[in-house]
Chain A
Amino acid sequence: MSGAGIFITQIGASVPTAADYQFVFNSDWPSLQTAFEKTVVVPAGGAVVTVLHRLGFFPLTFVFLTQNNQFVGRADIGNTDVACFIGKQGLYLTNNNVSSSYTANIKCYNLDLQKPHDYTLPKFPAVNQPYDPTVGIKVAKYGKDIHSTDLRDFILHSRAQSPALLSVVTERSAVTSPLGGGLERISYTNPAGYIPWIGGYIGNNGTIYESLVYNAAGFSVQSPGLTINPPATTLDFNPATGGATLIILRDPLILPNPVSVNFNSNPLIGDFETPVTGNFAYNPVGNLEGWSFLGLAGVATNGSAFNNPNAYSGTQVCFLQEGGKITLSYNFPFTGDYTLGFVMAWRLGQINPIAIKIDGSTITTYTVPGAGWNPSQTPSFHVAAGAHTISFEGTVTSSDVTTFVDYITISGVASG
């Protein structure tokens, strides 16, 4: 630690004696500051959208994409439609999807992709720390209340931690790549027992773009490209077309005591979050879970004109009006006894019992017993391994009554 600067430690640690990982903020190393931000629409069809950041260097940039008020991935990484090329004064975005536009939130961080750094001492993030509002430091944005409880109102807040920089490796340290073909390689040797968060960037005719750790189509190795591997991460690139940069943050990829999700127990097969609708839709096409909507069946979002309760999970529910029906072809992985879990709710007190069927045979018929979401499950049923059709079907066809369905899960045990 140098003698001057700003240092904030976790509660209980003092600045002169604190270990590296006990610093919430330390001005000896850069933390990520958002130097430029803008939200733009990237239209379908491939036209280039230019956004000037005027920072004068190639900033570390993340582009967060949303559609229909949902985050759907980052450009280049989470979404293969939108590409972002980073320039010294601006960004250039393209959308190769011919029919769908995206809203792109651009965050340029105060970090020059072409300037190498080499810090040491990995720093573990302060997870689930207590916060004492009587100590620490807060810097509010202009016009914001220093007493605000919304952390977005602050430039710096000692309750919040920012990813901090460990190192930046540029093409200046490149060596010949063992992949051949005139490629060069830069690499970063991870600290022992510690895989840091790493991003790779490759230059291309005066701009820089994020390199993938996988081939977006999944068909072959992306080469040149980024490979994160213990004990070292490598980035292969073609020096004829531009440079390369590895960004290494001080946060380890893997922390102890993760949340455990056992997909064996009750996988969620019906959440009905797709396709996204701004209100409600009969017979929507494009449910990514594979459900088909027949007759007076569809999906409705929170607050829709269909008078559905807010979703039990997510923001959308399925509705079964009168004899409306949903079906799913499901590949049962083993011969055994299974149970379907679900929640249902009525619409304005209406009663429409729902028949739950496997391959057309009714397992049970469920009637919503009262207001709100009612969790329940089917009796167990026996099926052979392989594809079978699950269906939920309204049983009242003589009057306008609706039942809402959400959060369908399945569990099973193998048996002969």
Chain B
Amino acid sequence: MDNGPIAVAGPGKTLLGGVGSDITFNTRYPFAKLDSTNLVSFQNINIFFGYDPPNPDGVSNFSRVTSIYTFKHGYKYIPAIWCIFQRTGFGDQGDHTVTKFGPYGYENGVICVSSVSGSAQFARLKLWADATNVFLGIEKIYVAAHPDPAVNLSGYSLLVRVYCFVNDLSGNDVPFQA
């Protein structure tokens, strides 16, 4: 690997033979950076659903997104974003959501399924962002012709972890790239 002017190999590794994460510091490559002075960089959001987000009508519209939380990320560009969530208090609604999917999911992951018959109505966490804000919402998928009811999120919670990186999506982060 071609290292930059300053490079440090990890314990037991050499600069000449090191590949990938063997080189723990390398001025050739910028770090993924989270501003440690900015709480938004590590946003943790606990969402309690005392109220069930609205369903699509299931006839002409099978998907409906309800915005539930927006925060300003503080940058003037679209940052790289990671998201992961934990479901809390979700009971089974016919399809054993937590049992089957586990309590954690990534952005746009399913948070609840209602499926006794297997037709599967479900809701998932939506995350999107522009150059100012990060948006969290719930997308509910409901088809009236299917026998199962729409999922009901009342009484449940999501604990959402969002990383907003200083690194943007312009494609210009890595210097000297071939």
What is the minimal beta-carbon distance from B111 to any residue of chain A, in angstroms? 9
What mask results when residues 29 to 49 of chain A are scored 1 for a CB within 8 Å of chain B, else 0?
Answer: 111111111110000000000
A342 at the interface (CB under 8 A from B): no
Chain A contacts for B174, CB-based, 8 A: 34-37
Which residues from chain B contact A69 at a C-beta distance below 8 Å?
78, 130-131
Does the CB pair B36–A253 fall under 8 Å? no
CA distance A69 to B79 in the complex (A): 11
Q: Are A33 and B44 in contact (CB under 8 A)?
A: no
The interface on chain A, measured as residues whose beta carbon lies within 8 A of the other chain's beta carbons, has a size of 112
Interface residues of A in 93-112 (CB under 8 A from B): 105-107, 109-112
How would residues 253 to 267 of chain A score, 1 for a CB under 8 Å from any chain B CB and 0 otherwise?
A: 111011111111101
Which residues from B are CB-within-8-Å of A73? 107-108, 127-128
Segment among A169-177, A201-209, A268-276, A369-377 that sits at the interface with chain B: A268-276
Contact (Cβ within 8 A) A290 B61: yes
Tell which of A212-220, A348-356, A360-368 binds the partner. A212-220
Chain B interface size, under 10 / 10 to 19 / 20 to 34 / 35 or more: 35 or more
User: Could you say which residues of chain A place their CB within 8 Å of the CB of B19?
Assistant: 56-57, 112, 115
Question: Cβ of A214 and Cβ of B109 under 8 Å apart?
Answer: yes
Q: How far is the CB of A67 from chain B (nearest CB, A)?
A: 9
Binding site for A on B (CB under 8 A): 1, 4, 6, 8, 10-11, 19-27, 29-39, 41-57, 61, 63-71, 78, 80-84, 86, 100-110, 113, 115, 118, 120, 122, 124, 127-133, 135, 137, 139, 141, 153-154, 159, 161, 163, 166-178
* Chain B neighbourhood of A220, CB < 8 A: 100
CA distance A168 to B50 in the complex (A): 39
Q: Who on chain B is nearest to A274 by CB?
A: B65
Contact indicator B34/A163 (Cβ below 8 Å):
yes
Q: How far is the CB of B29 from chain A (nearest CB, A)?
A: 4
Contact of A127 among B27, B42, B51, B139 (CB under 8 A): B42
- Nearest-neighbour CB distance to chain B for A90, whole angstroms, equals 12
Which residue in chain B gives the minimum CB-CB distance to A31? B31
Which chain A positions have C-beta within 8 A of B107?
73-74, 77-78
Distance of A333 Cα from B82 Cα, bound (Å): 32
Q: Cβ of A269: which chain B residues have Cβ within 8 Å of it?
A: 54, 66-67
Can you pick out 22 interface pairs between chain A and chain B where the beta carbons lie within 8 Å of each other?
A: A28-B24, A31-B31, A34-B167, A37-B172, A57-B19, A57-B20, A71-B128, A71-B130, A77-B107, A115-B22, A143-B175, A160-B35, A197-B84, A213-B101, A214-B106, A219-B120, A228-B103, A228-B104, A288-B64, A290-B54, A314-B133, A315-B132
Contacts of A27 in B (CB 8 A): 8, 10, 24-25
What is the CA–CA distance of A251 and B35 in the complex, to the nearest angstrom? 15
Cβ–Cβ contact A160 & B128, under 8 A: no
**What residue in chain B is nearest A4 (Cβ atoms)?**
B8
Q: Is A70 in contact with B130, judged by CB distance below 8 angstroms?
A: yes
Given contacts A107-B173, A139-B27, A314-B132, 9 further A-B contacts (CB under 8 A): A59-B20, A62-B80, A161-B36, A214-B101, A218-B120, A260-B45, A288-B65, A314-B70, A333-B51
- Interfacial residues of chain A within 1-47, with CB under 8 A of chain B in the complex: 2, 5-6, 24-25, 27-39
B residues less than 8 Å from A78 (CB atoms): 83, 106-108, 127
Q: If A57-B19, A258-B46, A315-B132 touch, does A214 touch B169 (CB 8 Å cutoff)?
A: no
- The answer to whether B102 and A213 touch across the interface, beta carbons within 8 angstroms, is yes
Say yes or no: A254-B159 contact (C-beta < 8 A), given A259-B44, A261-B69: yes
Contact stretch, chosen from A149-157, A317-325, A391-399: A149-157
A160-B100 in contact given A155-B29, A267-B66 (Cβ < 8 Å): no
* CB of A382 closer than 8 Å to a CB of B: no
